[in-house]
Homo-oligomer: A and B are copies of this chain.
Amino acid sequence: MSHDPAAQPVFVLVRPQMGENIGAAARAMWNFGLDAMRLVSPRDGWPNPASVAMASGAGRLLDEARLCKTTADALADMDFTFATTARPRGLTKDVYTPEAAMQAARDRIAAGQRVAVLFGPERAGLENDDVARANAIISVPVNPAFPSLNLAQCVLLTGYEWRRASEEAPAVAQELAGTEWANGDEREHLALHFEDRLGEAGFFFPEAKEEGMKQNLRNMWSRMPLTRADVQMLHGMLRQMVRWKERG
């Protein structure tokens, strides 16, 4: 199995709480040959001795983990992001089983894309703001009466499905080849550009609805299969509207 970081999905732990769980997640990843981990502002700081103690044998993943301030930072160089959630909450994004998600990840990676999977903090799971930055959802088909997977278990099942998917011959989806898709950084800049100008224009009104409106907008951008050219066109449209205004 290749350990080329570009040839595997990046697992992003968002605001993990217990150091032990970060270590357990590292072990779970390495069980299935995955070693590209990113951490978004772990609660107890970084590095964390409790993580190292728990990771025994997979400590290298912690040493090499990239520490990021925000989910957006962690996804800046990603082309496609899955968010793991216990219960998909009307986000109008495709909901994948872990198997289908890792098959899709394999195909995208084979086509040269970079793929991330977001895992939320232990108690609360991912926030809507994090999910809004993902292109699709992974939901593990658990017993609805007892959906109690912990962080490392969720990482384990996803890693297991990655290994199952990647050990087969990769089937490259033809439609992906040759298209330059916008990456996370480009999407982020697009989202910010619209947020800023629409904010100036008074679109996010009343204030009580501002957060929800911004989330809807984020969700829309991340659900769209935007090419690099689309992103440039959308920037251009917005710039032209502003120029139009400024001409008076």
Contact = CB atoms under 8 A, between A and B. Distances in A.
A148 B172 CA distance: 22
A124 interface: no
A121 B10 CA distance: 33
A53 interface: no
Given A95-B172, A172-B97, A203-B237, A163 B148 contact: no
A145 B30 CA distance: 9
Interface in A202-230: 202-203, 213, 216-217, 220, 223-227, 229-230
Contacts of A178: 90
A141 to B, nearest CB: 5
Contact of A95 (B167, B175, B241): B175
A4 interface: no
Contacts of A94: 172-175
Contacts of A156: 153, 156-157
**Interface size class of chain A, counting residues whose CB lies under 8 Å from the partner chain:** 35 or more
A92 B227 contact: yes
Contacts of A147: 31
A63 interface: no
Interface in A167-185: 167, 169-175, 178-179
Interface of A: 1, 27-28, 30-33, 57-58, 88, 90-97, 99-100, 140-143, 145-149, 153, 156-157, 160, 163-164, 167, 169-175, 178-179, 194, 197-198, 200-203, 213, 216-217, 220, 223-227, 229-230, 233, 236-238, 240-241, 243-245, 248
